[in-house]
Amino acid sequence: MALAKRTGVWRGACVFVVLLAVFGAMAVGQRVQGDWTRSDLGFFLRGRDDVPSAGDLEAERPSRMTPGLGAILSVAFSSNGETLAAGAGDGTVRLWRVSTGRETRTLSGPEEASVNSLAFSPDGELLAAGYEDGTIALWIVEDGTESHVLDGKCRVYSVAFSPDGKMLAAGMEDGTIRLWDVETQREIQSLEGHTSWVYSVAFSPDGKTLASGGLDDKVKLWDVSTGQELSVLAGHTDNVISVAFGPDGETLASGSLDATIRLWDAETGESQVLTGHDTWVFCVAFSPDGLRLASGSADGTTKLWNVSTGRVTKTLVAVGRAVVVAVSTGSHRVA
């Protein structure tokens, strides 16, 4: 069953599509006591050279932040892993310093417009927030001022900066992907090919290719310079919620509501299917060396996979039900 048909789950349980970037630190927004009256962010600190198992997580006795945001719908780390952003159903985005767990700033967007997606620019100076009302705010992280507001014209489900930070991509409710010039705020391209909501967008490491996943169960690859659809990667049997390129740009991972992960050869379109989650897979991310993959699921676990063998190497169990997950590149913390 497509997620669009599960209206209650989509609205009440949150937008699950957001950024699982790469290893280092992990933030988990949790469902508390069956409702969304309060939200927690749990932080689990670890050593520099290992990723904790579920037992390690329990032993760490995570510190807890209760920001009073209501439902946490999106989370993202800055590229250096020092700042965590969390977006909520009331239109606010809060920033924390990961090392201390202290909240540093609150960014107030459109009132009662859910923050469906967040992305930091590669240099960490800007934070893009995609809202339910169809707008995308570009926030200056240092002082919390709103630099510009882009009009997406319909609900925004995913945002991503290009590797050089000069372009912003957004996956939209109407099935399009919009590309903006960050400096001029000019819309460069509108990519049309998906038949419905675009849940996830990701640039290749060289910035030349964009991957997208959506409600139509498809993964698509696009030429960024021309806007041309390069290929359609078919194989999932339910909505594709997350896509991520490996560091070599040749491998693409996708996570789906069909409970599987696929590793695609971006050139040939051939795929390897990874099974192990019990239900919906919301997030996928490669380690910096491309040898491991992380995945987050509605089954409450984050799994680490050996990419070459397709086998699970570790399973991390959330304290409560994990609903959004983010992983940073620049830190050695799991949160």
pLDDT tens digits along 180-237: 999 999 999 999 999 999 999 999 999 999 999 999 999 999 999 999 999 999 999 9
For residues 105 and 97, what is the distance between their CA atoms, to the nearest angstrom?
10
Q: How far is CA 308 from the centre of its chain?
A: 23
Q: What token pair was written down for 283? A: 């997030």
Average pLDDT over the chain, rounded to an integer: 79
Output 156 or 20, whichever has higher pLDDT. Answer: 156
Domains along the chain with CATH numbers? 3-334 (2.130.10.10)
pLDDT in tens, 251-275: 999 999 999 999 999 999 999 999 9
Q: What is the pLDDT of residue 302?
A: 86
Q: Which amino acid is at 15?
A: V
User: Please, which pLDDT band fits residue 95 given cuts at 50, 70 and 90?
Assistant: very high
Distance CA 63, CA 43 (A): 6
d(CA 335, CA 332): 10
In 61-213, where does DSSP find H-type helix?
none
pLDDT at 328: 58
**Cα–Cα distance measured from residue 162 to residue 316, given in angstroms and rounded to the nearest whole number:** 30
